[in-house]
Amino acid sequence: MNEFICRLGTPSGEVITRVVEANAASDARTRLESEGFRVFAVSNASEGLSAVITGGSKKGKVKQSDFLLFNQQLSALLRAGIPVLQAVGLLKARSASANMRIVLVDVEEKIKNGVPLSEAFEAQGIFPRIYTASILAGEKSGALDDVLARFVTYLKRSVGVSRKLRGALAYPVFLLLAALLMVSFLTLYIVPRMSDLFKSMSANRTLPTVTLVVLWLSNAIASNIYWLLPVLIIAGLAIYVWLRTNSGKLILHKFLLKIPIAGQLIRNMTTAQLARSLSTLLSGGITVPDSWDIASQAINNLELRRRSQGVLPMIREGRGFTEALEQANWVPELALDMIGIGEGSGSLREMLDEVATFYDAEAEVRLEQFTTLLEPMILLFMAGIVVSILLAIYLPIIQMISAGPMSGRR
C-alpha cells in the first residue's frame, strides 16, 4: 500500500488535506469521491518539493524556469493593480511553454466560473502545497502580490541550490564516465588484440601476474558480453524501478545519511529548505501547525521525513515548536538554538530566515568539501585501473626487449 496526499473539498465547502493509503492514485480518488469529497489533487506522499514542477497526473511537466518566470510576472502584474483574471489571461497568451499554457487555460476557465486562484491552481494536481497554501493565505489577507513576491524569493533560492548541486556534481560524473569509457576501450579492444602476442611470449617465459589477471578478465568479459550486457541492463532497470518505490527510496536515503560528508550535506540542505518553507508560509499568515504540516511534506529525504512525523501532534498538543522539533532527532543543535531564540522573542519568522541563510552557506561549504574529496578519489581509482592495464600490456614487452640481447650473447 502507498500513501497519497489528497487535497479535498468537503460537502460544506471547506478545503482540507488528507493522507490516504491505497494501491494507486486512482483507487484513492475513487474511494474519496464515493465518500462525497471533491478531489482537487492526489500526489504520492514520497514526492517532496521536486514535485513542484514535475507534474503529477493529467498535466505535462512544467519546467522550474517557466514556473519561476510565471510567478515573477504574475507578482509584478498584481502589484501594478491588474486584476487576477486579466493577469492570468495575459500570461497565458505570452507564455513560451506549451505545458504552462495548458495549465493557465484551465486556471483561467476556473476563475471565470468563480473559483478562487488558490483552488484553481490546486485542481491542476502538479503544484506543491506550499505554493497553493501561500496563494490561499494571500487571498485571505488581501496581500496576494506580497505573498507571491515572497514565494518567488523562496523558489529562486531553492532553484539556485539545486543548480549549484547539479553543477558541483557534473564534473565528477563526467570524470567517472570518461574513465569508464577508457577502461572499456583498453579492456575490450586493445588487450584482446595483443593476446596472441602474449600467448607466444608465454611459451618461452612466465607472464607477469598483472598481465595474466587482465587477460583473464578481458577474455571473460569479451566471451560473455552477449549475455552479460543484457543481464547488467536488466539488473540496472530493476534497481532503478526498486529505487522509485517507497521502500527502495527509504533504504537509499538512510544509506546516504550514513555517508560522512554527504550525510551532513543532506541534513544542512534539508534544514535550510525546511526553514525557508516555514518562513514563507508564516509570512503569509499561516499558523505554525499548518505551516509545519505543509513544509514537512516537502522534505525530500524520506528518512528525515519519517523522523519528523511526530512533531505535528506535539505542536497541536500545545508543546513549544522548538521542543517538538527536538524530537525529530536530526535538526542541527545550532538551528534548534536559533529557532528557540526566535520563538521566545516572538520573531520566529525572521529567525527562520536567518537559519535558512546560515545553512545554505553551510551546505555550500559541505558541497565543496564533498566534491573536493570525490574528484581525486575518482581520479585515483580510475588511474589505478588504467595503470594496471597499461602495465599488463607493456611489462611483457619490456621483459622481452630486455631479455633479447642477453639471450643473443649466450
pLDDT per position as a tens digit, 7-57: 677 766 565 667 777 887 778 888 888 888 877 667 765 544 334 333 344
Strand 2-9 versus strand 38-44 pairing type: antiparallel
Count the Cβ atoms, other than its own, within 10 Å of residue 76: 15
Structurally, the chain folds into a number of domains equal to 2
If you write DSSP's letter for every residue of 48-113 in order, what string do you get? -GGGGTT--SSS----HHHHHHHHHHHHHHHHTT--HHHHHHHHHHH---HHHHHHHHHHHHHHHT
CB 359 within 8 A of CB 271: yes
Whether the Cβ atoms of residue 280 and residue 130 lie closer than 8 Å to each other: yes
Give the span between the Cα atoms of 123 and 101, in whole angstroms. Answer: 15
pLDDT of residue 235: 93
Residues 177 and 316 in one domain: yes
Confidence at residue 59, expressed as pLDDT on a 0 to 100 scale: 52
Q: What are phi and psi of 54, to 5 degrees?
A: -95, -15
pLDDT of residue 229: 84
Is residue 291, in this structure, part of any structural domain at all? yes
| Residue 189 confidence (pLDDT) | 81
- 138 lies in some domain: no
Q: What is the pLDDT of residue 57?
A: 43
For residue 410, being part of any structural domain is answered with: yes
What type of residue sits at position 174?
Answer: F
Question: 200-222 burial string, b = 16+ CB within 10 Å, else e?
Answer: ebeeeeebbebbeebbeebeebb
Q: Tell me the Ramachandran region of residue 332: left when phi exceeds 0, alpha when psi lies from -120 to 50, beta otherwise.
A: beta
Question: Per the domain annotation, does 146 fall within a domain?
Answer: no
- Mapped onto helix, strand or coil, the DSSP state of residue 327 is coil
Q: Which three cell numbers stand for residue 382?
A: 580510475
pTM over 0.95: no
- Residue 336: its pLDDT value, please? 93
**Same domain for 176 and 39:** no
Shared-domain flag, residues 176 and 34? no
Kindly write down the DSSP assignment for every residue of 145-210, as one continuous string.
HHHHHHHHHHHHHHHHHHHHHHHHHHHHHHHHHHHHHHHHHIIIIIHHHHHHHHHHHHTTSPPPHH
Q: How confident is the model at residue 271, as a pLDDT?
A: 93
**Residue given cell 493557465 in the structure block:** 104
Determine the pLDDT at residue 403: 64
Residues of the chain below pLDDT 70? 1, 7, 11-17, 40-41, 44-60, 201-205, 403-410
Residue 152 is assigned to a structural domain of this protein: no
Residue 60 lies in a domain: no
On whether residue 244 sits in a domain, the answer given is: yes
Looking at residue 47, what DSSP letter applies? -
Q: Is 42 helix (H, G, I), strand (E, B) or coil?
A: strand
Does a structural domain hold residue 129?
A: no
34 with 171, same domain: the answer is no
Q: Which domain holds residue 373?
A: 161-410
Whether residues 313 and 189 fall in one domain = yes
The reported pLDDT for the residue numbered 202 is 64
| Residue the block writes with cell 465518500 | 35
Q: Which of 122, 160, 126 is nearest to 40 (CA)?
A: 122
What is the rounded distance in angstroms from the CA atom of residue 236 to the CA atom of residue 228?
Answer: 12
